[in-house]
Amino acid sequence: MDKQEPIQGAIKVKLLFFGPLAEKLNQRTIDLSLSYGTTINQIIERFELSSMVSRGLVVALDGEIGVDLNSKVSDSSEIAFLPPVSGG
């Protein structure tokens, strides 16, 4: 028997931005209301971060680094966007 999905509705998540992303967006955190079933990829597209993913942007979902970008976020999820670290 397949697991039933909860009824469609709104969820609230917290986005965390670090380094140049925080500077680009002029904020480190954003509380965001989304539709149930929204994926990390959809958030990336909404904030126009797709080009940064191809350059090494790492995403953490609820503290788990490097999650599948097709993962659905849940109510109260925390999504962190970690730009690539460069050293010299």
pLDDT digit string (tens) for 21-59?
A: 899 889 999 999 999 999 999 999 999 999 988 899 999
User: Which architecture, in CATH terms, is 10-82?
Assistant: Roll (3.10)
Q: Which pLDDT score is estimated for 25? A: 87
- Where are the chain's structural domains? 10-82
Exposure string over 48-64, b if 16+ CB within 10 A, otherwise e: ebeebeeeebbbbbeee
Return the pLDDT at 24.
85
Spell out the SS3 assignment of 52-81: HHHCCCEEEECCEECCCCCCECCCCCEEEE
Tokens of 84: 């690539």
Contact status, residue 69 vs residue 59, Cβ threshold 8 Å: yes
Give the pTM: 0.84
* pLDDT reported for residue 84: 82
> In the prediction, which pLDDT does 2 show?
47
